[in-house]
Chain A
Amino acid sequence: MAPDISSAPGASSSTPQAPDEKPSAPPVNILPSLIARIYSIAHPALLLALGATRFEALVANPTKELISTLPWLTLLQIFYVIVCLPPTGSAPSLETSAPAPADVKSSPRSSGPSGAARHGKHGKRKQHANNWACIWSRLLPALLSLSLTFALATPVFTILLVLFGAPLTTHNSETVLCAAHMAVLSATALIYAHGLDRNVWNEVWGIARPADAVWGSALGTCLGAWLGAVPIPLDWDRPWQAFPITILFGAYIGYAVGSLLSRTPLVYGKRVQFTSEGLSETEKKTT
């Protein structure tokens, strides 16, 4: 009798949450333009290359290097989201057969006022020469997402790092900067693509988003950082075992792997299952 408990109607005290089947936002696709496709592949590689080249400097002086690379990382991410991703409020990608009702439901919630307008113009825009407006329509959400990343996501990651055992009395700048890097990696694209859509964020907190480049890279960042903690206690006496370095590299590698892997047809659109009939084991040990 045990398994059917959760599905049984609740006691009178609990008010069931409005719609049980959420009109979950479909997975986000990379924009169809050639440059977007190419850059979306190149971007993770570029980030990894950035990390690899700055590795020794990072080991030598983590705080300084984390500060100096943060603007570059931010610029790369901004460039990436502008070039490759549809901003929040724009139409869900055309390839996915998103059901019409979902579309209707999500549009009133969309935050960008221009969302509906752009929705219709999507196809034409390439022909129009009004590139400035187009860029602006993407730059604005990008900047907004960036500010939210720093204002909200960075504290959240900082708290998480501390809860997982990052020192509280020392290494504060390292912890915050590491959190900032992780936030820029994971949250910028999420906010850019989804805004503050409550349903999407509920799914994000429940690790229930369908796999796509945005979600895959965010989840990959967290998983990578989680795995990055593994070598820290080992007594190899390597300078790179110092606190934020392995976590940061785990996050970068996780970002790249997640971003690329989630686009493969095998994974794309799938969700992490918590109860039985689950996916692969590693996916389940999330965060």
Chain B
Amino acid sequence: MVVTPSAGATGTSPNPNGPKSGLSAANPRSSDQSSDGQSKRKQAALAEKKSRELENEFKAKHSGVMGVLAWILLLHVAGIYLFTKGFLLTRMVLEDKSTCDVLPFEGILAQPPTALGSKQQKGCWHEKTFDKAVVIIIDALRYDFTVPFASKGESDTVHLFHNNIPVLYETAVENPANAFLLPFIADPPTTTLNRLKGLTTGTLPTFLEAGSNFAGTAIDEDNLVAQLHSAGKNLVHLGDDTWQALFPGYFDTNLTHAYDSFNVWDLHTVDNGVTEHLFPLLRPENSKKWDVIFGHYLGVDHAGHRYGPNHAAMASKLQEMDRVIRDIINALDDNTLLVVMGDHGMDIKGDHGGESDDEVEAALWMYSKRGIFGRTSKDTLLPPQSARDRPVPQIDLVPTLSLLLGMPIPFNNLGSPIEEAFSGTRGNNWANLATVNRLTAAQVKRYQHQYALARGAGDDEESALLWTAAEEEWKSASKGFSSKSTAARASNELFRKYQRHTLDICRGLWAQFDVPSMIQGVVILLTSIVLLVIYARGLKTDRTQLTSRLLQLASVGAGVGAVAGLAFGLTGLTDMSMVDGAVLLSAAGSILGATPALVKKPANLTLPLPTGMWGWLALFFTVSQSIGFASNSYTIWEDEILLFFLTTFGVCAGISSMRQKQTTDRVLGVYHSILFVILGRIASFSRLCREEQMPFCRSTYYASSASSTSAPWQLAIPFLVTLFLPSVVRSFYAGSKSYEGTASLWIGFAFRFGLFVTSLFWILEGADDGEWLPVSKETLKFVRVFLAQFVLALAFAAGTTAYFYAKPCVSINVSKPTEDPNSPPAPIVAGQQQGPRTTVTILGFGNVYGTHFCFLLLNFALAIILMQKPMGQGAIALLLWQILSLLEILDTNSLTMTNSSIGPVILGVLGSFYYFKTGHQATLSSIQWETAFIPLATIQYPWSPIFVILNTFGAQILAAIAVPLTVLWKRPLQTHDRVPASNPNKNPATRILSDVVQAAGTHILYLATINLATTMWAGHLRRHLMLYRIFSPRFMMGSVVLAVVDVVLMIVAVGGVRWSTLSVGEIFGW
């Protein structure tokens, strides 16, 4: 029996080993047929045993390398954890509460208890102005929505979000005593949860809380809601259910109605609910039922997330809010204060979370029928034209509202009373202003004192001086009180100055970084990179042989370290907490343990320096990009720089291909190099600009730069992808005659069908956005969710199962030799002279490993494409094409079998590049949260975060899954009887495994270096002006990408190699 791969079977890669290895590989057990039946059976049994041994060895080693990757992941997580702990700002939470009967001044004891009841009647620290309040939060109400549009230049035209909610401005201008409107500046991070904390506690947010947006936790600091609650007020909450998480049990359960806040595709449910339940309460007959209503409208925010501000939906939403506010005004009584505010703004395309100007500039409007508001100067009579004039920090709401309602100021408040609310209708009630500012300043002082005690530090000297001076003025003012003298005014100024000074100090104080912890994190990350360099680039031996020893020593080290860390923590030898100590020492211990396992035999080590142009190029890309992150410009323009790198690689690949001796290699190599470069350049037209890139960048990802929906023409992209992408993939399979077996069903039918359903999904999405179909939104949503879940089931459930059981993409034809004149003369194997010889033609032989593994890539590509907006789908399709093109380049330049670092590194660059091309930036606001609702109608853990990850890091995930292909693509088949005679004991399957894990290690190395660089730069530049805008988000992105890719590489990529190798082994032997 003779096996002859047809001419095309080895495909475009002339593979010298193909024909030879094919001979016995296809049927190793039948190579000796001259012996009698018994010995034959014996032989067969022996071969069977051998191959089972080899298979088991492969499986064991496969689990081993996954263990190594898991260890690397843990090291990364430990390093990132330690750094993050020191880097993200932390603030001590003091449990103290302000109480009604203790004034904040030192030496003033509690009032006689008899006075208490009347105090609560009149107001605690200060005479109250209102009995009741309606606080309406219009989420993401940006300041420029509320003021009349004023053109700043010729290009500045009126947008759809302008002039649609005029009620706030009108009332403030027409009746200044009844209302005022001011810019209301949020402290970043501008997520609703953090803003609500700021708006009720009056203190500054710390960055660590930014991550808890998905699951809010109760506030345990003193806050306005708690004060109102403990004063016996009946509180009602309507709207965004974040309030329930923050203030559990504070609200009247009968009147309160909370709604799911994260369903950003739904513009109306929350708003309709709030309106429906709000107005009955405002009727006179119900006025006794409540004291304070907190209504939280989400429609504007959701319209921003879904459509962007410059959209008709936003205009109509703002008009609706305008009507609502007018109706509330009409229903309001004299004793009720109405507050309308935004908790944050939104950026140019309607998202928020960061600290750009558009995100922090919200609006604050207060209204009262009684007319108590004043302006201290004529200049401030009109609401400011832009948010840059006379802004008030959002924390100022807390003392203002507290004092207006006669509540004590929450203990940890740092805000100041808003002037307009206390200066009297004529704007000259300086005595009152001085009083409220003195109260506030005293509370700030008390808090500062307490905080300094808790920290074990002294009070700030300058603020002490300011305080003393203010008190002096206050005393002189109170002597000649009747004159409302300049002294009151002066003391007011000084108290105010004191408050703002303290605020500045606190901003500085809570930007205290824990440098030792940061350094520990960086050292862990750095040493793990060093180990990875040795493991991935500096070993000559089979990596799978190291596994068991490496893991043993590393886990022993980790165990010892963890115990030591816990012991140190328990005995109190260090300042570190037990957890931190255990994390640090176990990471360090495992590193120490693993080092001897890696470097035991110096003979096995090579200098991990590149040996050729490709290695240097890979190193150059990694290092230069890492250095570039020190500059905010290179961080901002990362997408363009990555394109530059990719084109550089493509040109180098073209040059290298020109040097190939084989004509096919040269032609194919040059063709794919040109293709690679052009595809990258086409993809680069998909852009989502970050604020800092303006004005040199034009967003194309959405319909317009102020939108977050796709243009109608973009809905054609999914159909183009459906039409072309399977054919493109097919052409790469056909190149090695591998479009056989399951491939045609998989690629030609299932993949295409999945893409088609995805296109339908996005058409329905567009129909929903544009209201093209006379179908209810609920029906559309139901159908969409069904379609999306179907695609995901196809990609993950059916796809993975099929991947496990699929045979390699080969087709085996048995034919008489005479019938196949095209096949070259079959070589003759010893002992096979008898009879008419049978020719076995195996199509697709040249790429058995690669084509099978590629199915896994296609499965994930389908799921990731579903999760992208139409423009991003085109980008992911281009990414897939570029990956396949890259594989051909690697093959024609003989880089697949030489373990070159360039393939995995370029995949890393591709992943990063397409991250930007799928509508993302290294900013928090570019996260497309709404994609969690593509396959689901509500938030569901853990699925919703996974979907957002699939959307956000889809490109990196796809690139990571493709990593094994850099060594598997067109890899010649190797079985144990075909390995070089020099190493007869070697199992060729573990050789594959070693190569795969080397490629995976190299890929991780690229991302880990980027992560280390962004981490170090963020730590080093922690006082940089741009820290929170640029360096910190990039650090967070780098860390998350590293962790996600570590997991994907370990579980999907290296894990998937198991089944492709088993599948090949089953057909061709081991």
Q: Which residues of A come within 8 Å of B, CB atoms? A: 1-3, 5-6, 8-17, 20, 160, 162-165, 202, 205-208, 226, 229, 233-235, 273-276, 278, 281, 284-287
Contact = CB atoms under 8 A, between A and B. Distances in A.
Contacts of B897: 1-2, 5
Contact of A1 (B641, B656, B980): B980
B643 interface: yes
B613 A229 contact: no
Nearest to B980: A1
Given A165-B643, A233-B634, A278-B612, A16 B894 contact: no
Interface string B18-41: 110000000000000000000000
Contacts of A287: 648, 651-652, 655
Contact of A16 (B7, B8, B643, B661): B661
A273 B677 CA distance: 23
B651 A285 contact: no
B647 A233 contact: no
A13 B10 contact: yes
Contacts of B15: 5, 11
Contacts of B19: 11
B613 A274 contact: yes
Nearest to A5: B894
Interface in B865-904: 894, 897-899
B832 interface: no
Contacts of B943: none
Contacts of B905: none
B611 A276 contact: yes
Contacts of A281: 616
A165 B16 contact: no
Interface of B: 7-8, 10, 14-16, 18-19, 611-614, 616-617, 620, 631-634, 636-637, 640-641, 643-644, 647-648, 650-652, 654-656, 658-666, 677-678, 680-681, 684, 824, 894, 897-899, 980
B662 A206 contact: no
Contacts of A9: 16
A163 B678 contact: yes
Given A234-B631, A276-B611, A284-B613, 13 more contacts: A6-B661, A11-B14, A11-B18, A12-B824, A14-B662, A17-B666, A162-B681, A163-B681, A164-B643, A164-B644, A274-B659, A276-B612, A287-B648
Contacts of B659: 206, 208, 274
A205 B665 CA distance: 15
Nearest to B663: A17
Q: Interface residues of A: mostly helix, strand, loop or mixed? A: loop
Contacts of B666: 17
B647 A164 contact: yes
A94 to B, nearest CB: 29
Contacts of A202: 658
A165 B664 CA distance: 30
A140 to B, nearest CB: 30
Nearest to B824: A12
Contacts of A229: 644
Contacts of A165: 640, 643-644, 647, 681, 684
Nearest to A241: B633
A234 B633 contact: yes
Contacts of B620: 285
Contacts of A234: 631, 633-634
A229 B637 CA distance: 12
B636 A207 contact: no
B616 A11 contact: no
* 8 closest Cβ pairs, A-B complex: A10-B14, A206-B658, A8-B16, A233-B637, A11-B14, A2-B897, A274-B613, A284-B613
Contacts of A226: 648
Contacts of B14: 10-11, 13-14
A12 B661 contact: no
B835 to A, nearest CB: 26
Contacts of A3: 898
Contacts of B980: 1
Nearest to B628: A233
A88 to B, nearest CB: 21
Nearest to B643: A165
28 contacts: A1-B897, A5-B894, A6-B894, A10-B14, A10-B16, A11-B18, A11-B19, A12-B7, A13-B10, A14-B663, A20-B661, A163-B680, A164-B643, A165-B647, A165-B684, A208-B659, A226-B648, A233-B633, A233-B637, A235-B633, A273-B613, A274-B613, A275-B613, A276-B611, A281-B616, A284-B613, A285-B613, A287-B655
Contact of A286 (B633, B644, B652): B652
Contacts of A8: 16
A205 B644 contact: no
B632 A207 contact: no
A287 B18 CA distance: 36
Contacts of A205: 654-655, 658
Given A11-B10, A165-B684, A278 B658 contact: no
Given A11-B16, A287-B651, A287-B655, A16 B824 contact: no
A13 B898 contact: no
Contacts of B656: 206, 274
A275 B659 CA distance: 11
B663 A16 contact: yes
Contacts of B662: 10, 14, 16-17
Given A11-B10, A16-B661, A206-B659, A278 B613 contact: yes
A14 B633 CA distance: 48
A188 to B, nearest CB: 21
A11 B18 CA distance: 9
B529 to A, nearest CB: 21
A162 B681 CA distance: 8
A50 to B, nearest CB: 28
B647 A163 contact: yes
A262 B906 CA distance: 31
B637 A2 contact: no
B677 A163 contact: yes
Nearest to B658: A206
A5 B8 contact: no
A90 B621 CA distance: 43
B616 to A, nearest CB: 5
B655 A206 contact: yes
A282 to B, nearest CB: 10
A12 B19 CA distance: 10
Contacts of B652: 285-287
Nearest to A167: B696
Nearest to A222: B651
B661 A233 contact: no
Nearest to B7: A13
Nearest to B620: A285
Contacts of B654: 205
Contacts of A233: 633-634, 636-637, 640-641
Interface centre among A13, A278, A286 (most CB of B within 10 A): A13
B642 to A, nearest CB: 10
B899 A2 contact: yes
Contacts of B16: 5, 8-11
A6 B643 CA distance: 30
Contacts of B651: 160, 287
A199 to B, nearest CB: 12
A165 B639 CA distance: 10
Contacts of A20: 661
Nearest to B635: A233
B50 to A, nearest CB: 21
A10 B898 CA distance: 18
Given A233-B637, A287-B651, A11 B7 contact: yes
A206 B656 CA distance: 6
Contacts of B655: 205-207, 274, 286-287
Contacts of B684: 165
Nearest to B666: A17
Nearest to A236: B633
A273 B656 CA distance: 10
Contacts of A206: 655-656, 658-659
